[in-house]
A and B are shown apart, each in its own frame.
Chain A
Amino acid sequence: MSNYISAVNEAIMREIAQVPHAIVYGESIDNGSMMSGLSRNITVQDGGRVINIGNCEETHCGVGFGLMLKGVPAVLIAKQLDFLLLGVEQMVSTYSNIRSHRDVSTLGSFTIITVICDQGYQGPQSSFNGLGDICSMAKVPGYMLTNSQDTTRVVQSQLNRPGFRFICLSQRLYPTEFLELDLVQAAEDCSVFQYYEGDDTTIVCFNLSLPEGLTLHKKIVDNGRSAALFSANYVFPQDWQLIRDSVTHTRKLVMIDDSKSVNLLGHRMMSTLSEQCPPFQSVTVTREDDIDFRVGPDDLQVDYEDVIARLGV
């Protein structure tokens, strides 16, 4: 049984090796620890390149869009999502510019693979964990890799797709055993994955909160009830049909989001579902408003018994 980072690395490298003319670039991607294993064993086809680059995040991002305009598949592997804040201007303005007049399906692909610091031991400056915030600014798709199912499907279907997207890893999952989950169903665009069916409540996880969702699911099952479990990615426009069908059936919804943003896609989902579903009971599990930015574990605090009690399951 492989651990998370080894399994994700293998899936990504397997896909990159199949992309003609791919340019894979990033800081320290071909030396040292290979970004703690994320960029180990990169192989590109003839005509492709692996480029170790310096510290210039805005240029990293702009180069990807230039390559996209040339029709060249580009994969930027970046150590941390918060480092890429220096390149947000490119991700937002340049991509909006390109999309305004070019048929993206005729251009190259630009994929940023990066790690979200979803643990707080790297210090306050690395506490940014909200992929949805960046995705929202220019409606850029963003996908989380948390287990065998989403990793396989996202990497295979999105990594070399024309256009721009993020594929993100969880830092706290690095040393853990790779989750092998069964899949009930998944949206074709990888916007939603369903891992369990259930009649008594619907659980939807955002950002990197699937581990908390799995824990809640287990506790509900241990209570002799069943719960449908979903994880949602940042894909625009978002189609909530799979979740809508479940909530219509269960009439109970738990939305879990571990990001520190105040602008949560889950809130938008709940607003949409409240208009489209019969009345349902809901519980949201999110960060407190007064987030502690000091060094610490930075886990999302979930009072599972309270959630179960409030739902009556």
Chain B
Amino acid sequence: MSIVIIKPGILDTIQDTGRTGQGSFGINTGGAMDRFAAMMANILTGNNVKEAVIEIHYPGPQILFENDALICITGADFTAGLNDEPLPSWQPVLIRKNTVLQFPVSKKGARAYLAVQGGFVIDKWLNSYSTNLKAGIGGWKGRKLEKGDEIFFKQSKRCVSSLFKSENNFQILRWRADIGKVYEQPHEIFFIRGYEWDELTRESTEALEESNFIIRSSSDRMGYQLKGTHLHLAEKKEMVSCAVSFGTIQLLPNGNLVVLMADHQTTGGYPRIGHIISAHLPKLAQLRPGDNIRFKAIDIDKAEEQLFFQQHEIQIWQRACAEKLNSIYAEHRS
């Protein structure tokens, strides 16, 4: 039960929802940039949300399936195809063995996720499957996927092959996740005010909400470097290092902003202007260099409400998908 990377993409890594509990050792959380898409890929294939998935950037890989599998692709739309036939995203698909999955054209978004029913066979490091590229450990050998890598997936008690109803290379299962709301208004990003917000000049606080910021090409999994109006504190401030989080907006000494992303360091010493709300991190993770961002400040209670709403939706999908899968396996047995 395995897949083989026959052609690597630019940056394909094993990720999960992150490595928590190690911050005091300087070990960052890492994990999928778009946690929502990664979790949904697992949910749609009937996995635990914390199973390992492959995070795919564009140009993507070519992946050979050595066995029949039930898979789901979520996140960015890289026009996934199986032996040149287009595959749907956000929908579980049965795949025949000896087929090749590829991602020919980048249409929308920045990261796609691939989950396989059962999950990939990966050793956990400090209780997580995520790849820590900086330390060279975790995930698949601590590195991105390369040509010839053969990754096994866990044998499921449920026989995927028995679900095929035709000789086709793939078969689309009947349900899909309606995820419209999560990625709506992709450029409008909400944040809560950070501790040094009050220390910005009035012009700066106005500029932050009233002008566009563009994601620079130097952005990566560690952080999004932004181009836009330069912001300034009313008085220069020397800071000692303090913990930062996924979504923290830091003000650099040159007046530019950087938004810390999944692979951010545990601590930082720059003024914290704001923090992107969790519910908007998925859409932020799907923006690309050159895209613009419009920031909007909201209060912590509203940020929490949005987080709970998204969590609640995830739980509903989780139950619904589990039921759907149970029913088709049951249908088949009868």
Please say whether chains A and B are actual partners in one complex.
no
